[in-house]
Structure formats: C-alpha cells, structure tokens
Amino acid sequence: MSSTARHTLAGRDYHSNDVYAVEQERIFFATWMYAGRVDQVAEPGQFFTVDIAGEGVIVTRSSEGGLRAFYNVCRHRGSVLCEEPRGQIKAVFQCPYHAWCYDLDGALVATPRVGKDEVERSELSLKPVHVDEWQGFVFVNLSRHQPEPLVPTLDAHYDSPLRFADFGLGVLRTGFRSESVVAANWKILVENYDECLHCPIVHPELVEAIPAYKKGMVFDPDRADGGVAIVTGGNTYSNDPRARRTLLPNMTEEQATSIYGAQVFPTMFLDIAGSNAVVTRLSPEGPRSTRVFSEYLFMPEEIESPDFDPKPVVDFCELVAHQDYVVSERVQKGVESRSFTHGVYPEKDEYVHQFNEYYRKVRGPLPD
C-alpha cells in the first residue's frame, strides 16, 4: 500500500466537541493516565492534585504507607476539596467550604456543626480512584470497573516504556517542573513528538546535538536499542558539550551518550539521557487546548549537591518544547479549515501512523 493511501485522522478529530466527549469517556476516564512522580508523595500526608480531562484527583499516601487516590470532590455539596497543586497535611483534608474532614484513607471523620446522627459518615467517604506506580511514575485510572493491571497495560502499548526498566528510573527525583498552555489538540502534540521530519526545520539546536534527527528519523536504524547518539560528548539532555553528571544506574558508555524516548499512550512522553530524564504530561483542556507539564528528573546525589543547577538541561529542553508548541498551534489552525479532511503518512511518519491506529482502536467508532 502506498504511503499516500494511508489517511491520517479526520480534521474534526482535532476540534470537535463531540469527539472530545467520546475521548473523555473511552480514553481519559478508562485508561491508566500518568499523574506525577512518587517523590511528591514519599511520606504519609503528602499529596498532589491532578486534572484528568476535567476531573480533579487527589493523590496521597496513607498513614500505613500505601498510595491512595480520590476524586477531588467533597461529599457534602460537591465543593472542590483541595486546590493546592501539592503539599502536606497532618491528618485530614478539610473542605474549605463547610470544613468537612477526610482522613488519608478518604473516610469522613468530622462534620462541624452537623450532628453525627444527621448523616451516615461511613457512606460518605471520598470517591476512590484506582492508583498504581511503576518506576516512580504514578498512574491513576478513573474507570468505574476494576482495570487491567498497570504494568501489562504499559507493555501492551505500541511504544512500551518497560524496555527502560533497567535504567533505574525509580530512584530519580524531581529537580525542576515547568508548565505551559498550548492552543492545540493533545493528539497534535503526540503526533509531533512521534516524528522528526520537522526537526531540521523547527529544531536547529537539537539536530546539531543529535545529527540523526537531521535525516528526519526518530531513531538510529543502525542501533537495535532505539537510541540516538549525542555528538557533543555530554551525558545530559542539553547542548552543553561539557555537561557530565552522575549516570543513571546500569548505563553503559554508549547508552550514557544517547537519548531514548517513548510515548506512553495516551498523554505521557518519556525522554531519557545518560544522567537525567524528562517526563511530560499532556493535560487536555478541551479539543483545542492542552496544558503541558514537564518534570526534570535527576539522580538524588545530583539534586542534593550544593552546586546542582538544572538550568542547562531545562533551558535546552524548554527551547525545543516551545519550538514544538509554535508549530503545533499552526497545525491546529490548519486542521480546522473546511478544506482539511485528512492528511497522509510518508514512510518516516510510521510512528504517527501507529499512534493514530492505536488511538482509533481504543476510542472506537464515533456515535452517528
């Protein structure tokens, strides 16, 4: 079959409110979604909040040490319970509206000015959300039913991250966070990540550090491990040729001077260098807007060092990311034209094709 015979998603898939509503129910509310790093909830009482396509979730750690996740909704009258992005509580989450209190297991334990016999507290615990962790990455699943286990699900993706387990990603800690809002559909950002035909035009700094990208390839065909070489001699995701940091566990010298990546369906990017990793979470805010969170991960001894400076890595990655945001917003404007019914896949768009086909499978047919 010729490449021109393979059609991309339809134009309306990138801007229709109806399509987005289907995605919410069949993908975002039924799939393991990356939420944040486990180092944010290392101790009982620590928590962070996350938005999953419009649904607020609190992730915390119980007094017994287990991960817990709940809908961020008070059971009294539906107020948002916790507005802070992260923090730590001593014992209870207190609703800022009427001060109802919930312990770290989600149980309703106090209802000020409301007698105990007025409500059945045991029936008004916070609504739980499925939560699990792999290599320090916390995932939540909003399914009303028991979902498939996390790890086999990750391995079933067209771009499985499990091949990176030997790199010891679980020991990494967050050294910096960034947040941006992009006026583009989340799938446009994924498709941009999955190809490098745009790299020589859009990313001049990136292709100087990683020449394989000049050829429009996302991997080196001469390497079986999927890595691409950093020619500057550094072992970080930056263009600083002098940048040499503490290596991730089990890294060989060839791996240490390479970049690896995976797009974890639906909304997570994972980029790994010899001494750091960058994890990106796309948070859809409707069919035309996506909030992008990036976490910069380093070895603990690097972060604890008095001269720790993530700026070279952050500056380089944010430069590349914002170059992507500009072209993604341009694509968003174009796909909304009535002239755009669909695009096509050249050979080097194979990963885009794989993502689109997986997306079609998970989303299923649209209602008539």
Q: Are residues 334 and 210 in the same domain?
A: yes
Which residue, of 146, 174, 199, is where some domain finishes?
146
Interval 313-324 mean pLDDT:
96
Distance of alpha carbon 201 from alpha carbon 259, whole angstroms = 20
pLDDT single digits (tens) 6-32: 889 999 999 999 999 999 999 999 999
Look at residue 213 and tell me if it is in a domain. Answer: yes
Distance of alpha carbon 19 from alpha carbon 286, whole angstroms = 10
Please give the mean pLDDT across all residues of the chain: 94
Interval 308-331 mean pLDDT:
96
pLDDT single digits (tens) 339-357: 999 999 988 899 999 999 9
- Report pLDDT for 217: 81
Distance of alpha carbon 130 from alpha carbon 220, whole angstroms = 38
pLDDT band at 3 (very low <50, low <70, confident <90, very high): very low
Q: Are residues 191 and 130 in the same domain?
A: no
Distance of alpha carbon 50 from alpha carbon 180, whole angstroms = 15
Q: Are residues 67 and 135 in the same domain?
A: yes
pLDDT single digits (tens) 253-303: 889 999 999 999 999 999 999 999 999 999 999 999 999 999 999 999 999
Q: Mapped to the 3 state alphabet, what secondary structure does 273-312 carry?
A: CCCEEEEEEEEECCCCCEEEEEEEEECHHHHHCCCCCCHH
Q: What is the CATH number of the domain that holds 98?
A: 2.102.10.10
Any idea which residue has 């094709």 for tokens?
353
Q: Are residues 139 and 173 in the same domain?
A: no
Q: Is this structure's pTM higher than 0.85?
A: yes
Any idea which residue has 């800690």 for tokens?
173
Look at residue 11 and tell me if it is in a domain. Answer: no
54 Rama sector, left if φ>0, alpha if ψ -120 to 50, beta otherwise: left
* Pairing mode of beta strands 46-52, 137-141: unpaired
pLDDT band at 2 (very low <50, low <70, confident <90, very high): very low
Q: Are residues 108 and 218 in the same domain?
A: no
Q: Are residues 101 and 188 in the same domain?
A: no
Any idea which residue has 């001049």 for tokens?
204
User: How many domains are there within the chain?
Assistant: 2
Look at residue 21 and tell me if it is in a domain. Answer: no
Residue 225 near residue 250, CB atoms below 8 Å = no
- Report pLDDT for 88: 97
pLDDT single digits (tens) 137-193: 999 999 999 999 999 999 998 899 999 999 999 999 999 999 999 999 999 999 999
Q: Are residues 165 and 128 in the same domain?
A: no
Q: Domain residues for 297? A: 161-363
- Report pLDDT for 368: 77
Q: What is the CATH number of the domain that holds 317?
A: 3.90.380.10
- Report pLDDT for 1: 42
Beta strands in the chain (DSSP E): 33-37, 46-52, 55-61, 67-71, 86-88, 92-94, 101-103, 108-110, 130-134, 137-141, 173-182, 228-229, 258-264, 268-272, 276-284, 290-298
pLDDT band at 242 (very low <50, low <70, confident <90, very high): low
pLDDT single digits (tens) 73-114: 999 999 999 999 999 999 999 999 999 999 999 999 999 999
Residue 275 near residue 267, CB atoms below 8 Å = no
Q: Are residues 138 and 169 in the same domain?
A: no
